[in-house]
Amino acid sequence: MVKKVIKKAFGLIEVMVASSMILIILLALTAATKSALQGNQDIYARAQALFLAQEGIETVREIRDSSWSAGQSGTGSWKSLVWNAAKDKLIDVTDLTTTSCYKIDYVGSPLYQFGLTPLSCTNLDQNQSSMELVQLNQDINNSNAKFYRYVKIEPIGNQLMPDGTGTANTFNQNNSFKLTVYLQYGQNKTLSISEILTNWWPKY
C-alpha cells in the first residue's frame, strides 16, 4: 500500500503574521538606532558647550591677568575687564557689590585684545540676539551648532575667609568676584560653569 505524503505550505495568514513580526522588529531597530544617534549628538553638543564655557572662563582670566600686569605700570587694574564706549580701552568693572552681565568681545587691529561688553541682565536668557554667538570652525555651516554665550559677574566677598585685619569683608569684596559663563544651545539646552577670580597679588 502506497502512503501519500502531504506537504503543508504556509497559508496567507501565516505569511501576514510573519511579515508583521518582521516589520515590527525593523521599526524597533530603526527607532533604537535613531535614539542612539540623537543621544550621541546630544553628548557631542554638550561636550562642545562645556568646551566653550571653559574657554569663556579662560578668556576672562586672561583679561584679568593682562589688566593686572598693566596695572603694575599704572595703566589699569586687575578688574579692568570692560570695554569703554569706543572700544579702545579697558576700564574697571564699575561695581563688584552687584551682579552684572556681559558678552565677550574681541577687538582686532591695533589692539588685538579681548574685553567684556555690558549687557542687561533683565530677561537675558530670552534674548539670544544680545549674547555672543559662538561656533566651532568645523561646524561653521551647521545651523544646529550655534552656541550663545554670556558672562555674569557676582559679588562673593562676604563669603571669603577674613584676613585678620578686621576689614576683611570689605577688602575681599573689592578684590574678588564669582564669574559664571552661561551657554545656550540646541533645543532650549543650557550649561554653565563658575569660578572665583581674585586680585591674586593685592597691595595689602
What's the whole-model pTM score?
0.74
Beta bridge partners of 117: 103
* pLDDT at 165 (0 to 100): 57
pLDDT tens, residue by residue, 145-170: 789 999 999 987 655 555 555 554 45
- Structural contact between residues 178 and 45, judged by C-beta atoms closer than 8 angstroms: no
Strands (E), the chain: 80-83, 90-92, 100-107, 113-119, 132-134, 147-154, 176-185, 189-198
The residues, ordered by sequence, that sit 6+ positions from 173 with a Cβ below 8 Å of its Cβ are: 96, 97, 155, 156, 157, 158
188 dihedral zone (left: phi>0; alpha: psi -120 to 50; beta): left
Chain segment 91-143, per-residue pLDDT in tens: 998 788 889 999 999 999 888 999 999 999 998 888 888 898 887 655 545 55
Work out the mean pLDDT of the chain and round it to a whole number. Answer: 80
How many CA atoms are closer than 13 Å to the CA of 57, on its beta-carbon side? 19
